[in-house]
Structure 1
Amino acid sequence: MLEIRNSDLVQAKSFLYDLKLKPKLSRHRTKLVKLIDEKIKDLSDASNEIIQQYAKKDENGNPIINDNMVEFDNVENRIEFEREDTILINELSKINLDEYPNVYDSIQQALYELDVELDKEKAETYELLCELFNVE
């Protein structure tokens, strides 16, 4: 079971997706990316529920969003939304690899053998993944 903070899901997926891997490792990576995609969808659904709960609504009951910013009826709703959203983004998602017993070892191997230069953001994501997969 992998535990990854919701705030790290997209970066982890992107990093894994961009790796150039041999066919077997690539298939295993694809399985993991699909599991991460499910968690990202769950996160998006939960975030939309929070928006629905606290946002100012139009005449059809839909949240009002302008320039990717949610509008609120009052400061209290905005504060409560930010509190709930912060809790959500900092929660841990659990990714169960029981159905794919070889995925863990394959990703661990791919991370261990990775020999490329990484910019700061990718290096941080690489470090996170190495911690998740116990790569020294």
Structure 2
Amino acid sequence: MRHGDPRLFWSLSFALTAATWERVGGLCEDYTGYGAEDTDFAARATSRGVGLWWVGGAPAYHQYHPTHSPPVQHLDDILRDGGRVQQMRAQVSELRHAADRTLDPELRQRLEARIRRLQQHCGQDPQPSQHSS
């Protein structure tokens, strides 16, 4: 099935080309614990135009463990990683605000370069500032 819902992406079984892996930026290794790297990867892939296809019947083997829905046993991980994403977004927002308001083109370039590095690392999709071309 084409155009799968990226919110349902789990990295326990997926395939892509090396070029696509590089385009997305790989899995962010800053997350700890449960699940945030999957959500982050799928969001960045989607924002970069990478389509998701669900392939029925593809075997995947996963070690059995008890599960809960919602995953309450992972609440600490989810809250910690969500906080990390929020902190990074706030930093990007502040840098973008400064870049959009500075009259110094050299400073604007440095701020925009820092924004791109933060966004490419993991956790947020690139969005140009008002002055980007």
TM-score (norm. length: structure 1): 0.28
Higher relative contact order (CA 8 A, sep 6+): 1
